[in-house]
Chains A and B, each alone.
Chain A
Amino acid sequence: MNGARIRQQIAFGVLGAITLLIVVPIILVILYIVINGAGAITWEFLTQAPRGGMKAGGIFPAIVGTILLVVGTMLFSLPLGVLSAIYLVEYARDDLFTRMIKLSVVNLSGIPSIVYGLFGFTLFVLLLHFGTSILAGSLTLAIMSLPVIITASKEALESVPFTYREISLSLGATKWQTVRYCVLPYAIPGILTGTVLSLSRAAGETAPILFTVAAFYLPRLPHSAFDQVMALPYHLYVIATQVPNIPISISFATALVLIALVFLMNLVSIILRAHYRKKRLW
C-alpha cells in the first residue's frame, strides 16, 4: 500500500510538471509581448497611418480593417450559422440530408485556413467579381467561422429544456413560433458566446485573407465594401517577414494590439456567458 502511495505521489508530480511545462510558456509568451510591445504603443501608433515604408507612424488602417472584417464576417456567418443550427436541432429528421449537414460541419471545421483562402479567391474574388475586397474577405472568413458558430448554437439550442417546446406546442403554437418564442430566447447567450469566440479567431486569421482582402501597404481607410484593407495579422506578417529593418518594437506593438483585440473579444464572450448564467431562470 505504501509503495502504491509513493508511486501515486511520483505520477501526480510528473503530471503537475507537465502541466507547468505548458502553462509557464503561455504566461511567458504573453508577458514577452506585453513587455516588449507596450513601450511603442502611443496614441499616435493607434490612430495614425503607417509612414516611411511602415518604419514609422501607426497601424490605424490595419485596426480599422480588422474590425471591419470582423463585423462583415459576423453579418454573414451569424444568421447562416444560427439558422443551420436551428435546422439541425429543431427541424431535421434522421435522414441522409441531416447526416450530410453534420458531416459537412465536421469537415468544414477541419479544412485548413489556407484552403479557405484559395476557395474565397476563386469564388468571391474571381468568379463573383468582388475583387480583392472587404466583401470577399468577410465572406471567406464567414464560411470558415460557420462550423464553430453552428456547433455552439447547436449546443445552446439543445440545452433548452424540451418541456418548453412541449408547453408551447401543447398551447397550439406552430413550430416556428415555438422556436422563436420558447427556444431561441434561451439559447441566445450560448449562441453569442460561441459567435464572439469564433469571431475572435477570425480576427487573428491570416491565411484566408492573404489573397482575398489584405493590402500590403494601404495607408488610408476604405471607402466601400469593395475596397482592399490592411488587417492586423497580415500587417504583422508583412513587417515581420517581408520588409527588412522594421524597428522590432513596432512589430511587438502590432502583435500586442492584435492579441489585445482578440483577448478583448474573448473577455466579452466570457462576460456575456457569466451575465446570462446569473440571469437564467431554469
Chain B
Amino acid sequence: MAEKKVPAFQGTKEQEAQLKEVIAKHKDSKGALIPVLHEAQEIYGYLPVEVQTMIAEGLGLSLADVYGVVTFYAQFSLYPKGQYRIAVCLGTACYVKGSGDILDKFKERLGIDVGECTEDGKFSLDATRCIGACGLAPVLTVNDDVYGRLTVDDVDGILEKYGF
C-alpha cells in the first residue's frame, strides 16, 4: 500500500478543532476508536497519517493500533475520495458480465489504482461488492448516478461527461 500516491495533507484548523471535539466526546468511553474514526472520516473524507496520529495521541493509543483497525475495515479509507467517486461493482453478476475489464479501463485512463484518487482530486476509483442492481450488470456508480449494461467502450464517454 505504501507505494500508492497520497496527496499532501490539506487539513484546516476548523477540521482539527472538530476532530478534537470528537475525541474529547468519546475519550473516556470504552471502544472509542471506531466511532472516532467514523466521525474523523466524515470530517476529512479519509484517514491520512496526520489524522490517525492526532487520534492516536488523543485517545492514548499507539499509531500501530489505530492503523490496524483502519486497514481491517473496508469502510475506512487511507486515501482521499475524488469530487467524482467512481465505484465499479465487482459482484458476481457484474463480474461475469465483464466489470473487471471496465475497472481495468478506468485504472488505465485515470492512471490510478483501486482506492486511489487522481492528483487533481477530481476522480477516485473504488471496486465494490454487489450493489443490488444485477439486472443492469455490469453496473457502476459515479456519486449518485448509476450506469448499467456497460461495455469497455462506454468508459471514455462516462469520463467525458464529468470533464475528464
| Binding partners A and B | no
Interface residues, chain A, CB within 8 Å of chain B? none
Interface residues, chain B, CB within 8 Å of chain A? none
